[in-house]
Structure 1
């Protein structure tokens, strides 16, 4: 399985000519990530995780594309289209469920975005585990229960987190490999600091951390 990292939280996975994209957001190269995709997973409604315009353009131009998202996100997308053939390819997904997609078995976890502030409403958030290998938590530190993903995507910085929580997430997941996501709001100095802590402390618990620039790919 080939993993390609795009800016912030967007990931593209390819296996045997099937393409799965997670969180093509407004901070990411969404059109590039979505090119030729077969399925898209959205963790939650915030625009840095879904570029609604790019997703709708892809649905219109790619008649085989399906989009899976929490009910609120899927409902908003369906409300923006009058073509039932497009609306039928926008599918609600719930936590604690399994999606059987070509070449990709997807398990879902969580249900709630991490708290930013009590005055900022919480929204639905779903973490996705792909082929019992790659785990994308969206905006949460929910660890998939009973499982240790081989590859962990780590939100290294967010308005809802602190570095200690990032490190504890890596420790709890016990993945063999980890790569950064959700880094767009950090400058290089801050990114180097956080990644340095994650790499050093993660290694104590058997996790090898690696940095991927936008457009970098790694074979899993």
Structure 2
């Protein structure tokens, strides 16, 4: 499987001519990430993960494209693109489904707390083909599965470094790459990643930084 990292939280997976895209948001190169996509998985409604305009355009451009997202996101996109509503589906924690040849399991259900005064929103983390886990905006450890490739939200308004490190250690996947990194400077990102890499290595996790547009075979 080929994994390509785009800016911030967007990741593209390609295998046997099939393409799955996770969280194309407004910070990401959504049009490039979505080119030729068969399925899109959205973790939650925040615009750095959900570029509504880009997804509406993608639905128009690709008749085979299907999109899975929490109920609020799915409803919003159906309202924006009613002519494509039949290809927009609701995903929820605890569900499993197959789409475009990919096996998908859903975990979590709730966005991490940013501040008590801010309303909570739904968040679904996705495990793809029993390998790649994208948690969205949460640090939910998926239960009952072994993760081969962990996508680590390296920095967010709702997290701190110790929580990110504990998440990596708890999931304990052999491979890990950063996501959710657009809010840090280059120096700040390198500093935070050094902690994740150093402590993760003590627990068998090989953490590696991927630049936007960089691909890796997993």
Determine if the TM-score, normalized by the shorter chain, exceeds 0.5: yes
Corresponding position of 1:149: 147
Residue 28 of structure 1: aligned partner: 28
Q: Structure 2: where are the runs of 5+ without partners?
A: none
Paired residues, number: 218
Shift of 1:61: 1.1
Deviation at 1:27, TM superposition (A): 0.3
Other-structure match for 1:10? 10
Q: Output the CA distance in 1 between the equivalents of 2:31 and 2:100.
A: 22
Structure 2 partner of 1:75: 75
1:151-181 CA distances to partner (integer Å, 9 max, x unpaired)? 0000000000000000000000010000000
How large is the RMSD of aligned CA atoms in angstroms? 0.6
Structure-1 separation of matches of 2:150 and 2:82:
38
Counterparts of 1:171 and 1:189, CA distance in 2: 23
1:82 to 1:108, Cα distance in 2 relative to 1, 3 A? closer
Equivalent residue, structure 2, for 1:197: 195
Output the TM-score relative to the length of structure 1: 0.98
Equivalent residues of 1:16, 1:103 under 8 A apart: no
How far did residue 102 of structure 1 move?
2.7
The answer for the alignment partner of 1:116 in structure 2 is 114
Q: Which residue of 2 aligns with 1:99?
A: 97
Aligned structure 1 segments of 4 or more residues deviating by more than 6 angstroms:
none
Distance in 1, matches of 2:98 and 2:146, equals 20
- Alignment partner of 2:173 out of 172, 175, 197: 175
Q: Distance in 2 between matches of 1:165 and 1:27?
A: 24
Alignment check: 8 A CA contact 1:96 1:108 kept: yes
Cα deviation for residue 185 of structure 1 reads 0.3
Q: Retained in 1: the 8 A contact 2:19–2:38?
A: yes
